[in-house]
Chain A
């Protein structure tokens, strides 16, 4: 028995975000004229405790069974208001949100009158839909208490250990033959000059001996499918394949060093190195047993130039042809370059060191102090500009094999430096596996190619896929302590659903009416999330079926179904139809 809709409409000023443009009082007044609206009010911040309290009070007082909030994007506060109606015993799907901020006040800030009319349109549409809203059932899924960690660098190791310590089984998959990742390739880690092996070795030993951790080396994920709580993957370790099941995933696939081939004459002379190559050269187990000598001559370097922002902070003018500029800063190179200069000075105390930089970004704990120490070493700083990159040339028969020329913006002079060695402080780029992992797990990448977090501040460790979390440099450049922090955090995120054993998944999904389904499979082809499978019915009929926990409610299947057998819950044809009609029913003159 359908009860008569009783709708409450709440219009938010959002401080001055909406109220500074839209006449909120007028919109609230207007809403009272709409069918089934029994109360309409405005407030300064509807999301605040007070605003929420107002909704709750009105649900009681006016016996509301539908709630419309006209405020910001549902991406921001739909969960907030759904909780409010839920707390009053209503189904959370009887809530509808109209967006008067992103869709009105922010984009029409110079046209307050028209903005107010548009706000009324959106409220009218939301009310029209609200009248037809239906309660939807809650879907709970069980969460298996095992995790998959992809990547065995410092981030993956850290996350794996924490989850295992918390009592859950962890499958730790590393594609190379060793754990330790890029950190293990470093000579020292800044700003404390710790030997990375001394930090990594106890951790790796702990991992290998941990009763809750299954390590896989030289391994890859051949196949992966499932949804939060219930994933299945095939791990290929050398020639063996193993199928595993788990509930959550940590993506810790790390970074690659930017390849500067074609820039600064890299690749044309042995004495032009990337900073990671120099670190390998300085390691005690490196090709020269840690003796710092120039690769071409095998002699101690007399003069060395380090160049920052190689592969970072690029623009159209400074990127080699055919490459897309990496606009972002790689966050670690400045301090890395300063620390490395000091390590060079330790090994070659007589060498002259020249650091070519743009902005010196020694921003971390102890980094600026390190920079102050560096300035006591007598090295020379040269500040180049965004558009005038330094040039590295190979000299013929001169005393020094290389020459670096640069404009120094602080002295206003062009300088030419003869050097034995050039070190390029190359930035970070996403690991080769990133796009493959992204498509397998249905997670997104941001413009810079790193994995996109769900929200930079609200959810920096979550991906867009429930149950998949991001750790370390896979999400964006960062140094060791920041990677560790993020990995511990991602581990906490993964532990929450596993500790509870169950999670609720969205109910706004598509449903298939089997009577109309012809089993053509068009919907399966259209589904981005592999959420539709075939099922055989006893009478020999083959029908499509939606895996509820995988469905994102995007609606693509619904529009592709030739038999109109698919309904999108919460976005039913009748509901959208009512919104369209409401949109077109503005009376002339407002």
Chain B
């Protein structure tokens, strides 16, 4: 075991992989995650393209691995507060927020949540599902330790009385630790583009216009609908679903100029899954500008979606969505650029393929680190052949905090950052 250690910030799939690849070299690794569980956005996804692997199935083993790796110290519900020093010798202050639960006692049995009288929207479910004020964000959460959301807790103490493990502790306070590390890996991920910025799509006011992540949660077996796709307005099963591409991406006026790189593929995947989940059939249409099926196995998947599954593709960026107030159906107005025809089509549900934007978490950590960022807020790389080196020596990055990318590219980059970071910790 080397004497120095490495800090990884963010425990989505990228941070998890980076931590594992550092720790597997015999180097002590701190993995800091600000939410109560590791897993990040990948844990929210139902299945992944182009193999249709169940996202939870391939992610959970890695989540469990980081939790029990002898060289990894996992700090969930924690945030980095201060960084000083230089490559090879950083001093980092990390604050662990109070869960009001003694993690050493909580067995994750869930009795407390059954009795908690307060129901709030679950942000892990993109707010289309609910949780209690005492909660784990999702069933496979790691660590499986409950958290009390004090913003919503009414302090009735039912949970405290019901907990056989006597794990509930309303007096718990935040804790701060200081660690010394040789290098730092940023894996602070992304946020989904806020589609309410596009007034013409009615997202946020039309019940049946969903963001892609909301649709993922609808598809997910552990999501609020148990994997049954229905309309949030009336519970009806949608028979015609439209997927709108480049929502907030390739949009210099209202969104981001760049391509978000994953939306084409996830829309194709979700169009296939919608057909799979909806008994009795469902017609799916993808409105696109260019279909960017560029990764390994992607083009084959795209071709298959048409040949085997009958997913329809229309080349055109949707101008406007209107809602039929009686049926809550959605009328999509679009020009098919291959025929030059302007037309309207009615759908039961519209899913917006929202792009990826730099995360709030990246912005927050950068208040401490002051790294050069690009015009959007992604961390800048040192040069073309140093794609995981930031402009501060000893600070590396991986995943979407560097630029938009899919899971294989993020995971590969995580290993890359682990390589670079390990050199400052030996």
Could you list which residues of chain A lie within 8 angstroms of chain B, going by C-beta atoms?
A: 14-17, 20, 44-45, 47-50, 52-53, 72, 76-77, 79-80, 83, 87, 154, 158, 162, 165-167, 189, 192, 194, 199, 203, 312-313, 315, 327-329, 331, 359-369, 372, 409-410, 412, 446-448, 450, 455-458, 460-461, 475-476, 480-482, 484-493, 495-496, 499-500
The answer on a CB contact under 8 Å between B411 and A359 is no
Cross-chain contact A166 with B423 (CB below 8 angstroms):
yes
Interface centre among B141, B220, B385 (most CB of A within 10 A): B385
* A372 touching B21, Cβ below 8 Å: no
19 contacts between A and B (CB under 8 A): A15-B221, A45-B222, A47-B61, A48-B140, A49-B108, A76-B61, A199-B385, A359-B291, A361-B293, A365-B402, A368-B258, A369-B257, A447-B300, A448-B296, A456-B297, A475-B296, A482-B409, A484-B385, A485-B388
Given A80-B61, A166-B422, A457-B408: A409 and B140 interface contact (C-beta under 8 Å) = no
Contact across chains for A15 and B388 when beta carbons are under 8 A apart: no
- Nearest Cβ on chain A to B260's Cβ, whole angstroms: 9
Contact residues in A for B381 (Cβ distance below 8 Å): 481
Interface-lining segment among B48-56, B160-168, B362-370: B48-56
Interface of B is mostly: loop
Residue B412 lies at the interface, judged by CB distance under 8 Å to chain A: yes
Given pairs A166-B423, A364-B261, A489-B415, 20 additional interface contacts (CB within 8 A):
A15-B222, A49-B144, A50-B144, A53-B108, A154-B385, A162-B423, A167-B426, A194-B383, A328-B299, A329-B293, A331-B294, A359-B292, A359-B293, A361-B292, A363-B259, A446-B297, A447-B300, A457-B58, A460-B408, A485-B413
Residue B204 CB within 8 A of the other chain: no
Q: Are B221 and A457 in contact (CB under 8 A)?
A: no
A13 nearest in chain B by CB position: B221
| Inter-chain contact A410/B338, CB cutoff 8 Å | yes
Question: For window 260-299 of chain B, which residues contact chain A by CB distance below 8 Å?
Answer: 261, 290-299
Assess whether A48 is in contact with B144, with CB atoms less than 8 Å apart.
yes
- CA gap between A455 and B385 in the complex, in Å: 25
Q: Nearest chain B CB to A251's CB is how many angstroms away?
A: 15
Smallest Cβ-Cβ distance to B49: which chain A residue: A456
Cβ-defined contact, B419 with A492, below 8 A: yes
A359–B303 Cα distance when bound, in Å, is: 13
Contact between B419 and A450, CB atoms less than 8 A apart: no
Assembled-state Cα–Cα distance A495/B402 (Å) = 24
Chain A proximity of B145: nearest CB distance (Å): 9
Query: Is there contact, CB below 8 Å, between A363 and B261?
Result: yes
- Determine whether the beta carbon of B413 is less than 8 Å from that of A458: no
Determine which of B144, B300, B383, B386 lies in contact with A53 in the assembled complex, contact meaning CB atoms within 8 Å.
B144
Please report the C-alpha to C-alpha distance between residue A328 and residue B338 in the assembled complex, in whole angstroms: 24
Is B139 interfacial (CB 8 A cutoff)? yes
Q: Are B385 and A485 in contact (CB under 8 A)?
A: no
Decide: A485 near B21, CB < 8 A? Known: A361-B292, A363-B292, A495-B422. Answer: no
Contact, CB under 8 Å: A489 / B408: no
Does B232 lie at the interface of the complex (its beta carbon under 8 Å from any beta carbon of A)? no
Nearest CB in chain B to that of A19: its residue: B221
A47, A485, A486 — most chain B CB neighbours (10 Å): A485
Please name all residues of chain B whose beta carbon is closer than 8 Å to the beta carbon of A368 when the two chains form the complex.
250, 257-259
Whether A189 pairs with B139 at a CB distance below 8 angstroms is no
- The chain A residue sitting closest to B386, CB to CB, is A484
Determine the chain A residues whose CB is within 8 A of the CB of B297 once the complex forms. 328, 446, 456
Cβ–Cβ contact B48 & A457, under 8 A? yes
Find B415's partner among A328, A409, A447, A461 (CB 8 Å cutoff): A461
A412 to B294, CA, bound (A): 26
Most chain A CB atoms below 10 A, which of B50, B383, B416 = B416
Tell me if A485 and B56 are in contact (CB < 8 A). Answer: no
Contact partner of A486 (CB less than 8 A), chosen from B294, B295, B339, B416, is B416
Q: Is the CB of A481 within 8 A of B384?
A: yes
Q: Tell me whether B296 and A328 are in contact (CB under 8 A).
A: yes
Partner of A16, one of B108, B227, B338, B409: B227
Name A329's contact: one of B25, B139, B298, B338 (CB within 8 Å): B298
Let me know if B57 is at the binding interface, CB within 8 A.
Answer: yes
- The interface residues of chain A lying within 8 Å CB-to-CB of B104 are none
Inter-subunit contact B67/A49 (CB<8 Å)? yes
A-B CB proximity, top 4 nearest = A15-B221, A489-B415, A488-B416, A492-B419
Contact (A199, B227) CB under 8 Å given A331-B295, A457-B48: no
In the docked arrangement, what's the CA distance between A167 and B144, Å? 39
The answer to whether the Cβ of B92 comes within 8 Å of any Cβ in the partner chain is: no
Instruction: Report how far A43 CA is from B220 CA in the complex, Å.
Output: 17
Question: How many whole Å from A499's CB to the nearest CB in chain B?
Answer: 4
B303 touches A15 (CB 8 A): no
Cβ of B227 and Cβ of A361 under 8 Å apart? no
With A50-B144, A480-B384 already in contact, the answer to whether A457 and B338 are too (CB < 8 A) is no
Contact between chains at B108 and A359 (CB < 8 Å): no
Within the complex, the shortest CB–CB distance from A143 to chain B, in Å, comes to 12
Question: Would A456 and B385 count as touching, CB distance under 8 A?
Answer: no
* Pairwise interchain contact B296-A476, C-beta atoms closer than 8 A: yes
Q: A14-B57, A166-B422 are in contact. Are A496 and B388 (CB under 8 A)?
A: no
Q: For residue A362, which residue of chain B has the nearest CB?
A: B259
B294 touches A363 (CB 8 A): yes
Contact of B412 (CB < 8 Å), options: A49, A446, A486: A486
CB-CB under 8 A from B412, the residues of chain A are 460-461, 482, 485-486, 489
Q: Does B143 contact A (CB under 8 A)?
A: yes
Contact string against A for B residues 378-420, beta-carbon threshold 8 Å, 1 for contact and 0 otherwise: 1001011111100000000000001110011101111111111
Complex CA distance for A567 and B259, rounded to whole angstroms: 56
What residues of chain A lie closer than 8 Å to B422, measured between beta carbons? 166, 492, 495
Most buried by B among A53, A165, A372, A495: A495
CB distance from B71 to the nearest CB of A (A): 11
In whole angstroms, how far apart are the Cα atoms of A17 and B420 in the complex?
39
| Residues on A with beta carbons closer than 8 Å to the beta carbon of B108 | 49-50, 53
Of B257, B258, B294, most buried by chain A (CB within 10 Å of CB) is B294
- Whether B416 and A50, one on each chain, are in contact in the complex, defined by CB atoms closer than 8 angstroms, is no
Assess whether B93 is interfacial by the CB under 8 Å rule.
no
Q: Which of B54, B141, B417 has the most CB of A within 10 A?
A: B54
Q: Which of A167, A327, A496 is the one whose CB lies under 8 Å from B24?
A: A496
Q: Does chain A have a CB within 8 A of B319? A: no
- B33-50 near A? 1/0 per residue, CB < 8 Å: 000000000000000101
Whether the Cβ atoms of B419 and A162 lie closer than 8 Å is yes
A548 CB to nearest chain B CB (Å): 22
Q: How far is the CA of A38 from the CA of B141 in the complex (A)?
A: 29
Known: A44-B139, A363-B261, A457-B407. A189 touches B384 (CB 8 A): yes
**Chain A residues in 8 Å Cβ range of B68:** 83, 87
List residues of B (99-152) whose CB comes within 8 Å of A's CBs: 107-108, 139-144
B235 within 8 A of A: no
- B233–chain A nearest beta-carbon distance, Å: 23
A162, A331, A363, A446: most-surrounded residue (chain B CB, <10 A): A363
B residues near A53, Cβ cutoff 8 Å:
107-108, 144
Q: How far is the CA of A461 from the CA of B54 in the complex (A)?
A: 20
Contact with A along B308-346 (1 / 0, CB 8 A): 000000000000000000000000000001111000000
Asked whether, in the complex, the Cβ of A495 is within 8 Å of the Cβ of B25, the reply is yes
Q: How far is B177's CA from A216's CA once the two chains are assembled, in angstroms?
A: 49
- Chain B neighbourhood of A80, CB < 8 A: 60-61, 64
Q: How far is the CB of B20 from chain A (nearest CB, A)?
A: 9
Q: Is B224 an interface residue (CB 8 A)?
A: no
Do the beta carbons of A369 and B258 come within 8 Å of each other? Answer: yes
Q: Which residues of B contact A499 (CB under 8 A)?
A: 25-26
Instruction: Name which residue of chain B comes closest to A447, CB basis.
Output: B300
Most buried by A among B48, B107, B418: B418
A314 to B386, CA, bound (A): 33
Q: A360-B290, A363-B294 known; A490 and B415 CB under 8 Å?
A: yes
**What's the Cα separation between A230 and B221 when bound, in Å?**
45
With known contacts A158-B385, A489-B415, A15–B144 Cβ distance under 8 A: no
Residue of B nearest to A493 (CB): B415
Question: CA A457 – CA B407 in complex, angstroms?
Answer: 6
List residues of chain B with CB within 8 A of the CB of A409: 338
